[in-house]
Structure 1
Amino acid sequence: MNADLAAAALNLIGTPFRLHGRDPATGLDCVGLVAEAMRCAGFHPVPPGGYGLRALSVDALVPHAGASSLVPVPDDGDVVLARVSPVQAHLLVAAPDGFVHAHAGLGRVTFLPGPLPWPVAREWRVLSERP
């Protein structure tokens, strides 16, 4: 787990949820959370746009991970893509003892303790060297 990324994500807990949100002052969605945490940790994210809350495939969004200096790993990723339902993917940031994520139902960024309750579709580790 990248400690800088985890700390940046933990600092965003309580930020309002907003679909396609990219500014903590007005709200973040799960993509915005990952992008803002990466930015605050000194990385240069390239977040996707034009996605919906529900989608059968995330393949069109995956190239943004590589452009954001995220490399795929089989497990223990810094950023995790989980399938919360068959038609909804969700990004989370790994933190000590759990995950930080933008929770639409609660309306804010929150901490999810323990292991994920959903299947993991993909995981990435942030490159330790910032671009």
Structure 2
Amino acid sequence: MRRGDAAARAARALVGARFRLHGRDPATGLDCVGVAAAALGCPAPADYAMRTGDADRAAMALAAAGLGRVAHGAPGDVVLMRSGPGQLHLAVLTDSGMIHADASLRRVVERPGAPPWPVIGAWRGEKEG
């Protein structure tokens, strides 16, 4: 089994968890960073603001967590998107869409289809091919 498949399955298990800014525990709530960290089993930074347009800093944080940038995302990869002016967002790709912490719905959801926001890049665990 490809590690990405396991990460996508782990992300899918988080669907329904409530949203909480800087949340790291599915029992108490997750934000998009918490979803990505839990799905991939990697560390999550705590020193970030909800609003930031600094994609380079986000890319450095993904690399520091042990993820490598890839040309094209696949299930289990993390995508960094620009979800609005001055706002970045992470999601975990699945075979049918993406899983992310939706602040407006106040929970982790699976959204079918392509990401609805411009994708800045995709990252995967370094041990994957």
TM-score, with length taken from structure 1: 0.87
Question: Identity over the aligned pairs, expressed in percent?
Answer: 45
Alpha-carbon distance, 1:115 to partner = 0.6
Superposed CA deviations along residues 21-51 of structure 1, whole A, max 9, x for unmatched, are 0111110000001111112xxxxx1211121
1:16 aligns with 2:18: yes
Separation in structure 2 between the aligned mates of residue 101 and residue 84 of structure 1, nearest angstrom? 12
Distance (Å, rounded) in 2 between the aligned partners of 1:47 and 1:53: 14
More helix per residue: 2
Counterpart contact for 1:46–1:65, Cα < 8 Å? no
In 2: Cα distance, 1:61 partner to 1:123 partner: 12
Seen in structure 2, the aligned counterparts of structure 1 residues 50 and 69 have a Cα distance that, compared at 3 Å, is: closer
Contact kept? 1:46, 1:64, Cα under 8 Å = no
Deviations 1:57-84 (A, max 9, x none): 1323322212322110122251000111
1:3 is paired with a residue whose SS is: helix
Q: Which moved more, 1:2-11 or 1:30-39?
A: 30-39
User: 5+ unaligned residues in a row in structure 1: which ranges?
Assistant: 40-44
Structure 1 segments of 4+ aligned residues over 4 angstroms from their partners: none
> Match of 1:108?
107
- 1:35 counterpart = 2:37: yes
Pairs within 5 Å for 1:82-101:
82-101=81-100
Is 1:55 the counterpart of 2:52? The answer is yes
Q: Which runs of 5+ in 2 are unaligned?
A: none
- Residues 20 and 32, structure 1, Cα contact 8 Å, conserved in 2: yes
1:69-88 alignment to 2 at 5 Å?
A: 69-77=66-74, 78-88=77-87
- RMSD, aligned α-carbons: 1.5
| TM-score normalised by the chain length of structure 2 | 0.89
Pick which of 98-107 and 52-61 moved more.
Answer: 52-61
